[in-house]
């Protein structure tokens, strides 16, 4: 059985766990270094507030171990805040998050809550008509490496990318009933 560690410092981690459990994966929450040291085949970084999660990653001495593991090839899936934490740059400036994904991200890209929206679209490698929920969402300004494949766009903006075994979406597949993106991620393992 595949063992997925879910970063559970803040945000919608329970929703990812429910979806991964539906797909037959085993999940455990990471809130401390000792949680992090448990055996795992992959990591999920949920939606929530990226500043809140990053502050806690630092305070709990998790930032460097997680970053090293991702650079060593641990598959990782970040949604919304997760995409921001993985992004190397923000609006042309290097970020001090995990910075393992070679993209430049734009936070709160669509504006405040009143601008949050739901749509459907195609995701390369996943399929057509994938439901996409954007909550105070970011988008990707630009990719910074030829390794990064754009999987989805919305109105010309990049909303899902893959770089080797790193997957990131600006939207929230864990808030829908559609499991295809999580299945796609599990296929990396």
Q: Which residues are known to be catalytic?
A: 80, 172, 174
The residue (of 46 and 75) whose beta carbon lies closer to other proteins is 46
- Binding region for other proteins (CB under 8 A): 8-15, 31-32, 47-49, 51-52, 55-56, 59-60, 80-81, 107-108, 111-114, 116-118, 133, 135-136, 172, 175
The residue (of 48 and 75) whose beta carbon lies closer to other proteins is 48
Task: Give the shortest CB-166-to-other proteins separation in angstroms.
Answer: 21
Distance in angstroms between the alpha carbons of the first and the last residue of the chain: 11
Name which of 159, 162, 163, 184 is nearest 172 in CA terms: 159
- Sort strands 101-106 and 148-154 into parallel, antiparallel or unpaired: unpaired
Contact 132, 120 (CB under 8 A): yes
Q: Is 127 helix (H, G, I), strand (E, B) or coil?
A: strand
CA distance 142 to 139: 9
Task: Give the shortest CB-80-to-other proteins separation in angstroms.
Answer: 7
Name which of 86, 136, 79 is nearest 109 in CA terms: 136
Task: Give the shortest CB-130-to-other proteins separation in angstroms.
Answer: 17
């Amino acid at each position: 059985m595949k063992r997925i560690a879910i970063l559970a410092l803040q945000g919608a981690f329970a929703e990812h766990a429910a979806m991964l459990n539906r797909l037959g994966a085993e999940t455990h929450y990471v809130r401390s270094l000792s949680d992090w040291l448990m055996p795992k085949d992959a990591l999920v970084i949920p939606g929530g507030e990226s500043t809140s999660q990053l502050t806690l990653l630092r305070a709990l001495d998790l930032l460097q171990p997680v970053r090293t593991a991702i650079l060593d090839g641990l598959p990782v899936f970040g949604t919304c805040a997760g995409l921001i934490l993985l992004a190397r740059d923000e609006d042309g400036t290097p970020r001090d998050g995990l910075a393992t994904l070679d993209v430049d991200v734009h936070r709160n890209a669509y504006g405040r809550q009143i601008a949050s929206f739901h749509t459907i679209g195609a995701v390369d490698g996943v399929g057509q008509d994938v439901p996409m929920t954007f909550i105070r969402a970011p988008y990707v300004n630009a990719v910074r490496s030829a390794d990064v494949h754009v999987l989805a766009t919305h109105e010309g903006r990049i909303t899902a990318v893959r770089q080797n075994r790193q997957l990131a979406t600006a939207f929230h597949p864990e808030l829908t009933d559609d499991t295809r993106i999580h299945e796609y991620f599990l296929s990396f393992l």
